[in-house]
Copies of this chain bind each other. A is one copy, B any other.
């Protein structure tokens, strides 16, 4: 069995004047690499990393600092998503120079209503793939990105440069089929997310991408799975049943930032207008986290 992948997407800590809080990012990356056993770190790749708030130079700085703080301990993948293929190529060239191992690219929304066609999507990925030697991760996240059908996903996965897929859907019928038709078929490695991790591994998928501290639970889960301790793996999967789903109406970034702050790896507050969890919400979240492998990191003084 190929070793399952755990791609971790560090949250972006902001200072009170909404600049990148570099020391907080560095501490978080140490946690992600050392304590979560990330097999790869993704820089400015998923929307939960709040990179869309950043100006272009700030975004490049976030990528640069992420690579610097990872410091070669694990490979880094760089998010290059942009409506313009030219800007995506520019970011890919930067990524190459910085020594990135791969780039991640959101299947883009058609700006003027209606879905992009398969031809549109293929053309976009091919234009970018021609200009970079790095492997491309196809990133699927309907909403900020396009809602890509099963046949269109398969067509994109067959492009030689597309070597990984990051799937945001929690639709297990879709994911089961695509793991078989894409990952087991040898076209690309299939990565999913927290709630899908054990099911993904059992079906032969390659792993998952997620922010911390979900990644610490995922590390335990992957280790149990590799050790064939499937009952323990199932217990760990259960730790993703309420966390973070129960706080998703607040958004994934606010929920995960709250959890990080609770376990003592401070990452600050969400970018406005989104607001941090309330005191009551924090207490409820702490109570749930106490039932997970994160329990030991919670201070005794946090009310349950």
Verify if A180 is at the interface (C-beta below 8 Å from B): yes
Q: What does DSSP make chain A's interface, helix, strand, loop or mixed?
A: helix
Verify if A280 is at the interface (C-beta below 8 Å from B): no
Verify if A203 is at the interface (C-beta below 8 Å from B): yes
Interface residues on A, range: 35 or more
Verify if A264 is at the interface (C-beta below 8 Å from B): no
Task: Kindly supply a per-residue 1/0 record for chain A positions 201-240, scoring 1 wherever the CB is within 8 Å of any chain B CB and 0 otherwise.
Answer: 0111000000000000000000000001011001001101
Tell me whether A272 and B123 are in contact (CB under 8 A). yes
Tell me whether A111 and B195 are in contact (CB under 8 A). no
User: Separation in Å of the A267 CB from the closest CB of chain B?
Assistant: 14
Tell me whether A199 and B170 are in contact (CB under 8 A). no
Name which of A116, A180, A241, A252 has the most chain B CB atoms within 10 A of its CB: A241
| Residues of the B chain whose Cβ atoms lie less than 8 Å from the Cβ of A72 | none
Tell me whether A202 and B198 are in contact (CB under 8 A). yes
Tell me whether A238 and B83 are in contact (CB under 8 A). no
Name which of A84, A85, A119, A121 has the most chain B CB atoms within 10 A of its CB: A84
With A53-B84, A54-B84, A55-B87 already in contact, the answer to whether A109 and B144 are too (CB < 8 A) is yes
Tell me whether A203 and B143 are in contact (CB under 8 A). no
Neighbour of A231 across the interface among B53, B116, B228, CB < 8 A: B228
Name which of A111, A119, A252 has the most chain B CB atoms within 10 A of its CB: A111
User: Separation in Å of the A112 CB from the closest CB of chain B?
Assistant: 4
Interface segment, A23-31, A93-101, A171-179? A171-179
Verify if A249 is at the interface (C-beta below 8 Å from B): yes
Subset of 20 A-B contacts with CB under 8 Å: A48-B112, A53-B86, A55-B84, A56-B56, A109-B143, A109-B144, A111-B253, A113-B143, A119-B275, A120-B273, A120-B274, A123-B272, A127-B273, A173-B195, A173-B245, A177-B245, A180-B238, A199-B199, A203-B237, A203-B238
Residues of A within 8 A of B (CB): 18, 47-48, 50, 52-56, 83-87, 109-114, 116, 119-121, 123-124, 127, 143-144, 170-174, 176-177, 179-181, 195-196, 198-199, 202-204, 228, 230-231, 234, 237-238, 240-242, 245-246, 248-249, 251-254, 271-275
